[in-house]
């Protein structure tokens, strides 16, 4: 298994490009199952999760061609299997996103039941109840969700008990080809859902209320293929900005968007960062100063994203003062705290709250990555620690950060990948 070795102490300084969004690319890849005719996708990030989704489509018989600029042509016309097997779903829970598109277009889908993961139990009950409200019959058998709708789905009025990103995406994709009108209430409104909805509209879907918590969808007979460019990754953007703030550095990020991470930018300013933005770039400058502690509470968009919580926890470990971090979305998402404490951080856990007393410096140590964003927090911690930090199990980080060590090297960090067996 590959490892990362980091020698801390250098402020990040320089300019890099932000990749396309993983969390928007995954549902858009699932949406290609809805198109009559080829889809051309640009700006997909080169990540393990994206490769897993492409493998899933390929194993269903979908035709996939990748060009020299990483543009991907996907044609679902040759599909001959309607199943997402355990081996793929267990490596990537987002495989569940093929359920809605398969069911609404082909009337059947067998998707392995996604289990829990390091950050919590993560049920999919709302996805299933929404599809049942649209007329699907669903059985769970042999670890598989077996969903059937031989005569197609029909529109429904559905209220989601919990704001769920994946649930909203699955039901939105199911509704675009259902007969009649669907209303999804208490829908998630993350920018990635807006990106998916915009792509569906380009394919010919009729959707009202995009970007709000109430989506109205008028089902159409068929959707056509289109060309679509995936939005920039706001979590990758936020991660590099937070890393720069923690290391007292200055970075300029290109090919990103500032309007989709207001909550994060405001917190970085509260931490003492000077931020300037243009239409497709963001610059952060700490002017050499130590960050100040900030309090954060995660909640659905537009509030502070759970996917940025671990990185802010890492920044708070070396900030001036004491910060409280409250995680409200996932039950076990403060797992990075124990590894950070092994590096000399002063964090106490009280239920879903981490109280972080800033210390002047951390001390490098061997640590273990446990999930995607927790790994990013360990990378940040390694860059503000004295001496060497060795991060094991970095396959978690490769799921969500394209070329992380190359990008950090461009910014001046002392970070190397050690290839393992």
What residues make contact with ligand UD1 under the rule CB under 6 A? 23, 26, 94, 120, 122-127, 162, 164-167, 188, 192, 306-307, 329-330
Q: How far is the CB of 274 from ligand UD1 (least distance, A)?
A: 28
Q: How far is the CB of 130 from ligand UD1 (least distance, A)?
A: 9
Q: DSSP class of residue 33?
A: G
Q: DSSP class of residue 292?
A: B
Closer Cβ to ligand UD1, 6 or 230, answer by number:
230
Cα 418 from chain centre: 26
Distance of alpha carbon 358 from alpha carbon 369, whole angstroms? 22
Q: How far is the CB of 318 from ligand UD1 (least distance, A)?
A: 25
Closer Cβ to ligand UD1, 86 or 281, answer by number:
86
In degrees rounded to 5, what are phi and psi of residue 219?
-60, 145
In degrees rounded to 5, what are phi and psi of residue 251?
-135, 155
Q: Which two tokens stand for residue 123?
A: 């049920």
In degrees rounded to 5, what are phi and psi of residue 176?
-65, -25
Distance of alpha carbon 23 from alpha carbon 280, whole angstroms? 19
Closer Cβ to ligand UD1, 308 or 337, answer by number:
308
Nearest to 203 by CA among 173, 245, 233: 173
Q: Which two tokens stand for residue 21?
A: 């969004």
Q: How far is the CB of 126 from ligand UD1 (least distance, A)?
A: 3
Distance of alpha carbon 48 from alpha carbon 46, whole angstroms? 7
Q: How many residues does the chain have?
A: 421
Spatial strand order of the sheet with 322-326 comes to 296-297, 322-326, 353-357, 346-350
**Residue whose C-beta lies closest to ligand UD1:** 166
Q: Is the peptide bond before 266 cis (omega within 30 degrees of 0)?
A: no
Single out the catalytic residue among 59, 117, 226, 403: 117
Q: Which two tokens stand for residue 100?
A: 């809605």
Q: How far is the CB of 328 from ligand UD1 (least distance, A)?
A: 9
57 in Cβ contact with 33 (< 8 Å): yes
- Class of residue 125 by CB neighbours under 10 A (exposed 0-12, middle 13-18, buried 19+): exposed
Q: How far is the CB of 92 from ligand UD1 (least distance, A)?
A: 8
Closer Cβ to ligand UD1, 125 or 208, answer by number:
125
Closer Cβ to ligand UD1, 6 or 304, answer by number:
304
Closer Cβ to ligand UD1, 165 or 231, answer by number:
165
Closer Cβ to ligand UD1, 198 or 389, answer by number:
198
Active site residue 59: no
Q: How far is the CB of 178 from ligand UD1 (least distance, A)?
A: 19
92 in Cβ contact with 141 (< 8 Å): no
DSSP letters along 182-229, please? EEEES----HHHHHHHHHHHHTT-EEESTTSSEEEEE--S-EE--EEE
| Residues annotated as part of the active site | 117
């Amino acid at each position: 298994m590959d490892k990362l070795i980091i020698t801390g102490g250098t402020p990040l300084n320089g300019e890099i490009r932000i990749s396309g969004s993983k969390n928007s690319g995954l549902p858009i890849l699932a949406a290609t199952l809805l198109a009559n005719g080829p889809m051309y996708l640009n700006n997909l990030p080169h990540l393990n999760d994206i490769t897993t989704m492409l493998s899933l489509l390929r194993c269903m018989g979908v035709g996939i061609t990748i060009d020299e600029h990483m543009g991907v042509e996907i044609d679902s016309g040759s599909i001959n299997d309607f199943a997402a097997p355990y081996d793929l779903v267990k490596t990537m829970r987002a495989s569940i996103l093929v359920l809605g598109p398969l069911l609404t277009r082909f009337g059947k889908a067998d998707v392995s039941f996604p289990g829990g993961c390091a950050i919590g139990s993560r049920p999919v009950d709302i996805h299933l109840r929404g599809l049942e409200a649209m007329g699907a019959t669903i059985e769970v058998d042999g670890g598989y969700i077996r969903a059937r709708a031989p005569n197609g789905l029909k529109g429904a009025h559905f209220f989601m008990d919990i704001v769920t990103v994946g649930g909203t995406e699955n039901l939105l994709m199911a509704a675009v080809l259902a007969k009649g009108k669907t209303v999804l209430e208490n829908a998630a409104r993350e920018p990635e859902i807006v990106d998916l909805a915009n792509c569906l509209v380009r394919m010919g879907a009729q959707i009202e209320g995009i970007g709000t918590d109430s989506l109205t969808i008028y089902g159409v007979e068929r959707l056509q293929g289109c060309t679509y460019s995936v939005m920039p990754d706001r979590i990758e953007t936020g991660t590099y900005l937070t890393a720069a703030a923690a290391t007292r550095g200055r970075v300029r990020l290109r090919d990103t968007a500032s309007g989709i991470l207001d909550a994060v930018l405001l917190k970085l300013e509260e931490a003492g960062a000077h931020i300037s933005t243009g239409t497709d770039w963001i610059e952060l400058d700490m002017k050499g100063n130590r960050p100040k502690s900030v309090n954060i509470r995660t909640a659905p968009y537009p509030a502070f994203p759970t996917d940025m919580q671990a990185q802010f926890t890492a920044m708070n470990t070396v900030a001036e003062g004491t910060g409280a971090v409250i995680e409200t979305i996932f039950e076990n998402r403060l797992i990075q705290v124990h590894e950070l404490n092994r590096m000399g951080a002063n964090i106490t856990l009280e239920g879903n709250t981490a109280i972080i007393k800033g210390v002047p410096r951390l001390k490098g140590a061997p640590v273990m990555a446990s999930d995607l964003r927790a790994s990013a927090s360990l990378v940040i911690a390694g860059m503000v620690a004295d001496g060497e930090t060795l991060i094991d199990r970095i396959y978690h980080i490769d799921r969500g950060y394209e070329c992380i060590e190359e990008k950090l090297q461009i910014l001046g960090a002392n970070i190397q990948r050690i290839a393992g067996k």
